Amino acid sequence: MEHTEYIAHLQGIVQIPTVSSVNDASTDWSEFDRLHRFLQEAYPLIFEKLEVTTIGKASLLFHWKSSHAEKQPIIFMAHQDVVPAPHEEQWSHPPFAGEIADGCLYGRGTEDCKSVLTSEMDAITELLEEGFDPDFDIYLSFGHDEEVQCTDDKKGSVLAAKYLEDHGVKAYCIFDEGGHVEAVGYHGNERPVALVGLAEKAPNEYVLYKEGAGGHASKPGKGTVLGDVARAIAAVEAHPMPYRLTPLVKAHLKALAESVADKKVAKLYAHPKKHWDDIVKLAKHDRELDAKLHTTFAVTMAEASAQANVLPSHAEATMSVRILQGDTVESVKHYLESIMPCDVQVKATFAEDPKPAGSVESEAYHLMSETIYDIFGKETLIVPNLMLGASDSRNYAKVSDNVFRFSGRLKTEQWGEAHQVDERMPTDHLGVPVQFFKAFLKKYSEK
């Protein structure tokens, strides 16, 4: 496949604004229909050779059925939906135009994560064209609502995972968004660094709330329920959950120590338990390290009276809570209740426990590592990672023991970050993940 085709494929789906919404009635499903039609036109061989099943409202599950399956299947994942781009005037190029400038393709979803979807489709197309004959089944699973929280009966990834379970699928491994290779020079790296997500924190939403009698604002008395909720917010921010060193984060720090330019920090990372007090001090000034060491609370929304002269009869604040392995929905709720002032109540409105972390000792992890060395060079430093954001792959824990949040992409200074203004992807690197996925499948076929 020509490099120009990689660009055209990504450009085509970026130009289709598949913005998801918690409320199905607010989602423009015609855009997802447009995306599906584009995929049929761009990847006719996949639609000819693979079985295609629509899951839920708009998720797609492709199945390449082997005629002589002897090994466990492989699953590649990505999601079709994107977050909104509400302030288009802030963008250098319109967020859904798919324009190319300065060697980059600009647009919402280029990084998160339509470039993952196209690279997986491009890889499968090329293997079909080459006559690749795997002795294992291959699945492509593309969710439609990864960017929003919704109930299990609507969530595309939950429904797709259940479909696979019901059909007896137990995969050798799964690849999804989340990890990448940082190029030499990026973040001061002296060698390529492959960040491989082996787990992710569980995304939850908790509400702090209090009821009251309400009344006229001219007679506030000693205060309002909103004031009490504000005091609860202050208590949450003043009493974060304690730091803990999980096995995965310990492995992450020890591996990362080899690439840290600051030798003092590298020494701490190499032996995090031995230097725990110093690690804690570092975390106080490093938001990413902080988030890897404990369950975090972020107060993001508040609600009370609808009018200034009315005392609120109900006040609440919503928190985004990311639960670390070792904590649970209930243990976090109990902790919050223990620090609540003024009889403020706590409830979890979206709740899920974190899934277990994968292992660096698995055969699949070693095979993936060999492929990384083949594509990115033997000097590449492979670092197991805890993903701080959420992905659809967390819902596939029962489908495979080896869920790799790794996209095979090469990250440089040109990248535009997910969800930000001027999200973008360098066009000269679009073929790299295609080669990675092809190489992994061929290596698995030969083992």
Model confidence pLDDT, tens digit, residues 168-190:
999 999 999 999 999 988 777 88
Comparing C-alpha atoms, which of 413, 400, 430, 342 is closest to residue 121?
A: 430
Spatial contact of 386 and 158, defined as CB atoms under 8 Å apart? no
What are the backbone dihedrals phi and psi of residue 263, each rounded to the nearest 5 degrees, phi first?
A: -65, -30
| Segments of the chain with pLDDT less than 50 | none
Q: How far apart are CA 274 and CA 415, in angstroms?
A: 36
pLDDT given for residue 442 in this prediction:
98
Please provide residue 71's backbone torsions phi and psi, each rounded to the nearest 5 degrees: -115, 170
Asked whether the whole model's pTM tops 0.75, one would answer: yes
Which residues are within 8 A (CB) of 262 and not within 5 positions of it... i.e. 6 or more apart? none
Q: Give every CB contact of residue 232 below 8 A, 6+ residues apart in sequence.
A: 208, 210, 317, 340, 341, 342, 344
Q: What is the pLDDT of residue 25?
A: 87
Residue 60: phi and psi, rounded to 5, are: -120, 135
Give whole-number Cα distances, 289 to 31, 191, 193, 333, 345, in Å.
38, 21, 17, 23, 30
Q: How far apart are CA 171 and CA 174, in angstroms?
A: 7
Can you list the alpha helix ranges (DSSP code H) found in 239-301?
A: 247-256, 263-270, 276-283, 287-293
pLDDT score at 281: 97
- Alpha-carbon distance of 254 to 59, in angstroms, equals 38
Q: What is the pLDDT of residue 207?
A: 98
CB 400 within 8 A of CB 170: yes
Residue ranges in 67-155 assigned as alpha helix (H): 115-130
Per-residue DSSP letter, 357: P
The pLDDT value given to residue 190:
84
Q: Is 86 helix (H, G, I), strand (E, B) or coil?
A: coil
CA geometry: angle 14, 16, 22, nearest 5 deg:
105
What is the predicted pLDDT for the residue at 260? 84
Whole-angstrom distance, CA of residue 432 vs CA of residue 416: 17
Residues 107 and 95 sit within 8 Å (Cβ to Cβ): yes
